[in-house]
Amino acid sequence: MSDEELEERVRRICLNLPEATELASHGSPAFFVGKQFVMLWTDGHHEHDFAHLWCAAAPGVQRDLIAQSPDRIFRPPYVGTRGWIGVRLDGPVDFNEIEMFVEDAYRCVATKRQVALLDALSS
């Protein structure tokens, strides 16, 4: 999958969430719902020179996911100290899993009203 195709798939997943917006940050697509919830790096960033996402995550999730899948999930720089996860996108990508990570990230930063909008779409 090309970088452009990967970016478009991630963009569709993120912008399909209620009131989500996209802004460029450090030259890469970043997705917000008031606060940032996902960052996409198609060219890599710092020591992670492969395509990947940074996703907000609930407390404790980062440690558990890294322990379960250390080859795919990592602690990203900067936001990793706040519990965010890094998700590798340079191998086979399970977009159902990516949708789950993105939705969980959204739920971590969205307001109660925005989460209710999401829940209404899901039912």
What confidence score (pLDDT) does residue 44 get? 53
What confidence score (pLDDT) does residue 22 get? 97
Which has more pLDDT, 93 or 44?
93
* pLDDT for residue 21 is more than 90: yes
Q: What is the CATH number of the domain that holds 78?
A: 3.90.1150.30
Compute the distance between CA of residue 108 and CA of residue 1 in angstroms, rounded to an integer: 29
Helix then strand then coil, % of the chain, to nearest 5 = 40, 25, 35
* pLDDT for residue 18 is more than 80: yes
Chain centroid, CA 9 distance in Å? 12
Q: Which residues contact 63 (CB under 8 A, 6 or more apart)?
A: none
What confidence score (pLDDT) does residue 111 get? 97
How many residues belong to the chain? Answer: 123
Our count of domains for the chain comes to 1
Is the overall model pTM greater than 0.85, yes or no? yes
Structural domain boundaries, residue 118: 3-122
What confidence score (pLDDT) does residue 26 get? 79
> For 35-42, what is the mean pLDDT?
92
